[in-house]
Amino acid sequence: MDKIAPLVLFVYNRPEHTRRTVESLLKNTLAGNSELIIFSDGAKNDKDLQKVKTVRDYIRTIKGFDRIEIVLRERNFGLANSVISGVNEIFKQNDQVIVMEDDIVTLPSFLTFMNKALMFYQDNKSIYSISGYPYPIKIPRTYNEDVFISYRASSWGWGTWKERWEKVDWEVKDFSAFISDKKVQNLFDRGGQDLTPMLKAQIKGKIDSWAIRWSFAHFTNNAYCLYPIVPLCKNIGTDKSGTHSSSSPKLDVELKAFNKELVLGQSPELNEEIIKEIQKLFKLTLSRRIINFINFS
């Protein structure tokens, strides 16, 4: 492979999750060819100090990648600022990146797929990001491609390019126009009914998410996220151990080894059945819609 994207890992206070994430990455075919940059966030409070230290003691022992760089934050950035500033740093010297958080385990083919896709689609401006995590949806039997595109971006095992990332408006300056236009909101929610409520929550300071703003950037730039039809990574942090994790199993997938090399299609098209599956997965209950209306209207 001509070009290997740097691999960026964001860690905080979960030593066991971090270890499992790194060990799975080391089993990847391209691990030995990949540069690993680890951003370790500073402790938010005294309670987290020891766990942050344990994580930092562990990451100093990591070997097996082409090169390893560790960035120790002296203060707590929080997940959103940590990811945004960290990826910004990487793009000062690189044109593409693969991003991991400390609760994502991968199959050995994950890095191969991500690097091939980043090279293959770098000139396709309609593809804004790549992810190795397809949601737990049913792929139609009539669908013959190995990848698909979605309105919704993923923050679990993903990659992108510098020029796409630099177009993101992290302040969401056009939010007023967006929130006053129900038709535009409905278009954004083609990726899931939870998207507009999450963006509202972000603007109102109820959550601190880089990922919802990343999805909004896909929408405002008429672009998509590309996924494999089989999971190449999964989240192991849905145990209430992380900043935004929950105990809900609905987003869980099973990692199964497979021998087939995934074929990348030159111009993937939206598949309505797949889009409907994703919409069904993120459909809000009536009670959740009422809560969102009360909190964010």
Please write the tens of the pLDDT for every residue from 197-217: 999 999 999 999 999 999 999
Neighbouring C-beta atoms of residue 2, cutoff 10 Å? 5
166 in Cβ contact with 90 (< 8 Å): no
Residue 162 in any domain: the answer is: yes
Residue 1 in any domain: the answer is: no
On the question of pLDDT at 270 being above 80, the answer is yes
Indicate which CATH number applies to the domain containing 61: 3.90.550.10
Residue 166 in any domain: the answer is: yes
On the question of pLDDT at 2 being above 90, the answer is no
Total number of domains constituting the chain = 1
pTM for the model: 0.92
274 in Cβ contact with 140 (< 8 Å): yes
Q: Is the dihedral of CA 70, 74, 78, 82 positive or negative?
A: negative
The reported pLDDT for the residue numbered 287 is: 42
Residues 222 and 44: their CA atoms lie apart, in Å, by 37
Which DSSP string corresponds to the chain?
Answer: ------EEEEE-S-HHHHHHHHHHHHTSTTGGG-EEEEEEPPPSSHHHHHHHHHHHHHHTT---SSEEEEEE-SS---HHHHHHHHHHHHTTT-SEEEEEETTEEE-TTHHHHHHHHHHHTTT-TTEEEEES---S-PPPTT---SEEEESS---SSEEEEHHHHTT--TT-TTHHHHHT-HHHHHHHGGG-TTHHHHHHHHHTTS---HHHHHHHHHHHTT-EEEEESS-SEEE--TTTTSSS--S--TT--------PPPPPPSS----HHHHHHHHHHTPPPHHHHHHHHHHH-
Residue 2 in any domain: the answer is: no
* Percent of the chain clearing pLDDT 90 (strictly above): 86
On the question of pLDDT at 35 being above 50, the answer is yes
**Over the chain, what is the mean pLDDT?**
92
Question: Which band of pLDDT confidence, cut at 50, 70 and 90, is reported for residue 244?
Answer: very low
Residue type, 99: V
Residues 54 and 51: their CA atoms lie apart, in Å, by 5
Residue 119 in any domain: the answer is: yes
Residue 43 in any domain: the answer is: yes
Q: What is the mean pLDDT of residues 87-98?
A: 98
Residue 180 in any domain: the answer is: yes
Burial class, 154, CB count within 10 angstroms (exposed 0-12 / middle 13-18 / buried 19+): buried
Residue 232 in any domain: the answer is: yes
Residues 62 and 141: their CA atoms lie apart, in Å, by 42
Residue 192: domain span: 7-296
Phi (first) and psi of residue 52, to 5 degrees = -60, -40
The reported pLDDT for the residue numbered 241 is: 56
